[in-house]
Chain A
Amino acid sequence: MSSAKVEEKLFQNRYRVDAGRPHIGIKNPEICASSCTTQHCTVCCPAGCYTLEGNGRVVLITDGCLECGTCRIICEEHRNVAWEYPRGGYGILFKFG
């Protein structure tokens, strides 16, 4: 229920996507797949940007990112999230905030 719902919600938001230049990246995907047992990012990201694939890998798509910082901070055991703000003018553009 929740993942479908969050996509519908993000549809209401305004974004300017920096195509081909995601501002957040997974440093080493192997760590998510093998060393990380909890994969909290796939649950706690409020925009559902992180999804768990059947083979245990974590896939990140930053298009719906709300730029909160949650994923970087909860990945405290592995510090495997390379996190920057989008380039100036890109990313979420809150109409109300």
Chain B
Amino acid sequence: MAHKFDAIVVGAGPAGNAAAYTLAAGGCKVLQIERGEYPGSKNVQGAILYSDALERIIPDFRDDAPLERHIIEQRLWVLDDESFVGSHYRSDNFNKPPHNRYTIIRAQFDKWFSQRVQQAGALLICETTVSDLILDRGRVIGVQTDRLGGSVYADVVILADGVNSMLARKAGFRPELRPAEVALAVKEIHFLPQEVLESRFNVSGDAGVVIEMMGKITKGMMGTGFLYTNKESLTIGVGCVLSDFKKQKCSPNQLLEEMKAHPAIAPLLEGGEMKEYAAHLIPEGGYNAIPKIHGDGWLVAGDAGMFVNSVHREGSNLAMTSGRIAAETVLALAAAGKPYTARNLARYREQLDASFVMKDLKKYRNMPEVLHRNPQFFTTYPELINSAAHTMLRVDGVDKKTKEKEIRSSFTARRSLFGLVGDAYKMWRAFE
């Protein structure tokens, strides 16, 4: 094996694969290093695949990518202990190809993506952990791996090594993550006979349903739960900001167990066989927490760059897009015969700023802070909304006007009129 490459990509998740594919397709001699036994074996996601970001890299991905179900129905549930108030949006429009988003199983999907990367000409080595970056006078010139004689050199290194971003941190390019900047998510996969799953969720063929949940299931912590339908399995999980887990001294496993036992959720899982339990951190610090993403000889893509839009539950599409743009930046400099200096690589940041990645993150820049400071959005409101629905729908001889009054006074008693107006304003500002 030659020890000098045009580019090295660390990691074979969505960001690393997007970067390595784009580089290889652009004629670059690229080495990709993955620590897992195979690409995907270390990777965890919900998982929803948004077609657009992948289509811009591999337009014909639908031909052979392992996709579970295209989503035709989105449910949003606000839960208290016994009940939920929810909205469903289902449209037959989502049944018409090309489909907009799919559930996927990452171990299978990442393996497929990686095969495409290798077909494009990238060299992949697995079962190899990159332990450090090799620097020469502040410039990244290669990586140190845990293989025998494990130094490999390249003109530029793309760090797509995931949320923990070990390499950039060890090199002193960024500080340690803070508990308020990451969410800890735990999830399980439950297998069910396909016909049971389809009748339970009212779908057929390859159509599927996603349920996003908030409220008492997170015990006042800032976070959400989710349930996704795969072909023959369900993914159920819950994620909350790590500083809240810490503050509440809450066991993530216990939280998931209690959520699974909720009277509205348990029947959906009934009879399923649990086959894997996973945990993962999600970088949810938003725009204000984005670290330095480029320097002399290096670029950061995907979760390592904090590119997750937690409001819209988008991450892998931001990862793929940032990986692609990082690679395009490298290709453009190579074509112009320019060196990979921090100054020249700043073009990466400019291109990202001009894309939906930074625009969306910027739009919601204050959201993490607003939600941190206002836990009532995860506790008081779900309770009030559920009890209001209960009051209105229960037929018990009390007239509707009296019921309305009861509901109004329950809201003002719990949050006061100023509190309610203030909360509405904060939410409007954060979404604006």
Chain A contacts to B: CB under 8 angstroms: 1-2, 5-6, 9-10, 12-13, 16, 38, 40, 43-44, 46-48, 66-70, 72-74, 76, 84-89, 91-97
Closest 8 CB pairs of A and B: A89-B127, A97-B106, A46-B279, A9-B277, A88-B128, A88-B127, A2-B254, A66-B279
Chain A positions within 8 Å of B145 at CB level: 88
Which of B243-251, B292-300, B339-347 contacts the other chain? B243-251
Cβ of B189 < 8 Å from any Cβ of A?
yes
Contact between chains at B274 and A69 (CB < 8 Å): no
Chain A positions within 8 Å of B279 at CB level: 46-47, 66, 68, 70
Docked CA distance A85–B165 (Å): 11
Contact between chains at B257 and A96 (CB < 8 Å): no
Docked CA distance A86–B166 (Å): 12
Report if A73-B177 is in contact (Cβ < 8 Å); known contacts: A44-B184, A66-B279, A88-B145: yes
Chain B positions within 8 Å of A89 at CB level: 35-37, 126-128
Q: List 7 A-B contacts (CB under 8 A).
A: A88-B127, A89-B36, A89-B37, A93-B42, A94-B276, A97-B42, A97-B47
Report if A88-B257 is in contact (Cβ < 8 Å); known contacts: A95-B276, A96-B105: no
**How many residues of B sit at the interface, in one of the four size bands?**
35 or more
Contact check: which of A12, A40, A66 meets B246 at CB < 8 Å? A40
Contact check: which of A1, A16, A43, A46 meets B37 at CB < 8 Å? A16
Report if A70-B126 is in contact (Cβ < 8 Å); known contacts: A43-B249, A94-B42, A97-B107: no
Chain B positions within 8 Å of A68 at CB level: 184, 279-281
Output the nearest chain B residue to A89 by Cβ-Cβ distance: B127
Chain A positions within 8 Å of B166 at CB level: 84-85
Contact between chains at A69 and B164 (CB < 8 Å): yes
Chain A positions within 8 Å of B37 at CB level: 16, 89, 93
Report if A66-B129 is in contact (Cβ < 8 Å); known contacts: A9-B188, A43-B249, A88-B146: no
Contact check: which of A6, A72, A84, A94 meets B44 at CB < 8 Å? A94
Cβ of B279 to closest chain A Cβ, rounded Å: 4
Output the nearest chain B residue to A86 by Cβ-Cβ distance: B129
Contact check: which of B43, B253, B281 meets A6 at CB < 8 Å? B253
Chain B positions within 8 Å of A69 at CB level: 163-164, 177, 182, 281
Report if A2-B253 is in contact (Cβ < 8 Å); known contacts: A66-B279, A97-B43, A97-B110: yes
Report if A2-B129 is in contact (Cβ < 8 Å); known contacts: A93-B37, A94-B41, A94-B278: no
Report if A46-B128 is in contact (Cβ < 8 Å); known contacts: A93-B41, A97-B105: no
Output the nearest chain A residue to B41 by Cβ-Cβ distance: A93
Cβ of B291 < 8 Å from any Cβ of A?
no
Contact between chains at A73 and B179 (CB < 8 Å): yes
Docked CA distance A38–B233 (Å): 38
A interface: dominant SS: loop
Contact between chains at B186 and A46 (CB < 8 Å): yes
Contact between chains at A95 and B179 (CB < 8 Å): no
Contact between chains at B250 and A43 (CB < 8 Å): yes
Cβ of B198 to closest chain A Cβ, rounded Å: 20
Cβ of B137 < 8 Å from any Cβ of A?
no
Chain B positions within 8 Å of A92 at CB level: 41-42
Chain A positions within 8 Å of B257 at CB level: 1-2, 5
Contact check: which of B35, B40, B105, B249 meets A40 at CB < 8 Å? B249
Contact between chains at A97 and B281 (CB < 8 Å): no
Output the nearest chain A residue to B275 by Cβ-Cβ distance: A12
Cβ of B235 to closest chain A Cβ, rounded Å: 8
User: What per-residue 1/0 map shows which CB atoms of B89-131 lie under 8 Å from chain A?
Assistant: 0000000000000000111101000000000000000111101
Report if A96-B42 is in contact (Cβ < 8 Å); known contacts: A73-B176, A89-B127: no
Contact between chains at A70 and B278 (CB < 8 Å): no
Report if A12-B146 is in contact (Cβ < 8 Å); known contacts: A5-B253, A5-B257, A94-B107: no
Output the nearest chain B residue to A6 by Cβ-Cβ distance: B253
Docked CA distance A93–B233 (Å): 19
Contact between chains at B146 and A97 (CB < 8 Å): no
Cβ of A62 to closest chain B Cβ, rounded Å: 14
